[in-house]
Structures are given as structure tokens and as C-alpha cells.
Amino acid sequence: MSNLSYAVVGSGAIGGYYGGKLAHAGQEVHFLLHSDYAQALQQGLRVDSVDGNFCLQKPNIYRSTEDMPQADVVLVGLKTVNNHLLPQLLRPLLKADTHIVLIQNGMDMEADLSEVLPHQPIIGAMAFICSNKVRPAHIRHLDYGALTLGCHQWVDERKLSLIADDFTAAGISVSMDPDLHTARWKKLVWNIPYNGLTVVLGSTTDQLMNHPQSRTLVRQLMEEVIRAAQTCGAQIDSDFADQMMSNTDQMKPYKPSMLLDFEHHRPMEVDYMYDRPIRRAAAHGAAMPLTQMLAWQLRFTESKNQTAP
């Protein structure tokens, strides 16, 4: 393990899992917690994982980033609906060379953050993982877990290598992608169909895959995303959908993060996951009619969900 210190902003299903793995392996990790603080203080941070359960009995936890030490690396696991809070949350944690790792779904998060932190090193991270928070300070990791890291700006290659080594030592498979633009589009090939369709069809991933019509719709959405990505210059082979479909066929039944947000009446990540790639594709002359229809359905469903008693 390196001597890097880590801070986790957004210590839920994603940040709690990856930060928890690092801490369990002996890395210095500090967690920002809000609603989970009291539970973590009393019982620790628990991760039930297919790779082995563990509990951090006395994690370094805080209610405010102003009380946290500055870190060498900040892992951001917040939902993108809260990204407007990042400048205020991150600044107390930052040194000149603190690397910010955005483990988030969607597109353009790195560019938006770089507008307010133009000289801070920023890394995009794509997590292919099935992980949920089942109760306060209690995460259940069901399947997968690999991370793909891509540089956005000002990244120190030596520190990037140390970060990757730390994840590897913690039992997390890590790969580097020099083309962050392509990596973000690849993740959307999975996220756009499964996150949205599980909400509007009220289903889990396995149910989508086991019904012929919904399986066809998943495939058509994937192919549309791939065509849009290729038009925007992303290097994705047309048969990439085969790989994503196969991976999901082997996946345990899963409720994606957007479905869980919907079920708990929380805002859904429609902007970064749907609106941004649709606009990006349109700017390059590519239409995404199926994705646009799904985004409109999600907006309508969300409006009803937030006004429900």
C-alpha cells in the first residue's frame, strides 16, 4: 500500500464500498457521513460482499468536510444530482496536488467540475459493480466491482499509478483507459437501458433480460447509444452490446441505482445520464430517439413520484 491519504465524499453504495475496501486493506481513509453518522459511530461501517464480509469497527468519520484533514486523493461517490454541492464540499479537503476521482454515472461531470476547480487534477472513474446500501452504514456488494480510470486534467501519472496500486492491493480490479471520452460512453451503453427501463417497467435486470420484448428493447437502446458514441468519436465496436448483454445475463438479479432512487422517492440522475449524452450526440448530428423517449418517461415518472403522498 502507498502512503496516500484518501477522503470519501458520498459514502454510500459506491463510495462506502470502495473507500471501505481501501480502509480494510490498511489505507488511511476518511469518510464524510450525514444520515449514517450515528450508526457508523456505534456499529462501524459494514460491507457484506460476495468477496468476503468485513466491518470497519472504528472508521474515520465526519459530519462536515471542514472537520476532515486534507487528502491526497478524494473519492467522490455522490449521486450527480448533488454535484452542485461539490465545490463547497471539496475545497476544505484540497491541497494543490489533491487528485479528485469522480466515481459517478453519466457524462460531463469532469468538465463541469473543472470549470470551478480549473487547476485541480481530476480523474474519471467508471465502476462496473452491483452494490446497494441496505441500511445506514451497511452496504451489500452483490457482484462485479472493477474500476476503469481515465484522466481528465492535470493528472500526475505517478500518483495515478499509486492510486491504481492501492485499489489492486485492496482486491479491486483496476484498468486504465487513456480515452476517458470513450470510457464514459461505454458505461452509458449499460446505464441508459437498464437504469431507465427498470424504473419505467418496474422490473429488475434479470426480468428485463428474461422477457423477449424488453430484452429486444434493451438491445435496441444499446445499439442506439453505440451509434451515437461512434458519431461523437468514441472508439466502441458495434458488437460491444453483445458483451454487455452477456455480462448482464450472468449477473445476479439487480436493482440499479436509479430504480432504488425512484423507490425511495429521491431525485433520479436523468440530467448527466440521459440529457447530457443526448445533447452531445445532437451536437454531432446524431439523434437518439429511443433514449430521448426514455428520458421523457423518466421525467414524467419522477414528477408523479415526487408528488405522491
C-alpha cell at 291: 433514449
Question: Which amino acid is residue 280, in one-letter code?
Answer: R
Would you state the pLDDT for residue 308?
56
The answer to whether residues 161 and 52 touch, using CB atoms and an 8 Å cutoff, is no
Q: Which residue has the cell 440522475?
A: 269
What residues form DSSP beta bridges with 144?
A: 129
Nearest C-alpha neighbor of 75 from the set 25, 160, 151, 10: 10
Measuring CA to CA, how many Å separate 210 from each of 207, 228, 259?
5, 27, 18
31 in Cβ contact with 47 (< 8 Å): no
Please identify every stretch of the chain with a pLDDT value under 50, giving residue numbers as ranges. none
Comparing C-alpha atoms, which of 33, 27, 26 is closest to residue 8? Answer: 33
Which residue pairs from 280-286 have beta carbons closer than 8 angstroms and sit at least 24 positions apart in sequence?
Answer: 280/107, 280/108, 280/228, 280/232, 281/228, 281/231, 281/232, 284/228, 284/231, 284/232, 284/233, 285/231, 286/227, 286/228, 286/231, 286/232
* pLDDT value of residue 178: 94
At 54 the three-state DSSP class reads: strand
pLDDT for 306? 74
pLDDT of residue 305: 86
Coil, strand, or helix at residue 146? Answer: strand
Which pLDDT score is estimated for 1? 86
Catalytic residue among 79, 159, 186, 187: 187
Measure Cα distances from 141 to 48, 64, 152, 185, 218 in Å. Answer: 6, 26, 28, 24, 24
> Regarding beta strands 60-62 and 73-76, do their DSSP bridges make them parallel or antiparallel, or are they unpaired?
unpaired
pLDDT at 309: 53
pTM of the model: 0.96
- Distance, in Å, from the CA atom of 187 to the CA atom of 127, rounded to the nearest integer, reads 8
Q: Which domains does the chain have, with CATH numbers?
A: 5-178 (3.40.50.720), 182-307 (1.10.1040.10)
Known active-site residue 187: yes
pLDDT tens digits, 104-142: 999 999 999 999 999 999 999 999 999 999 999 999 999
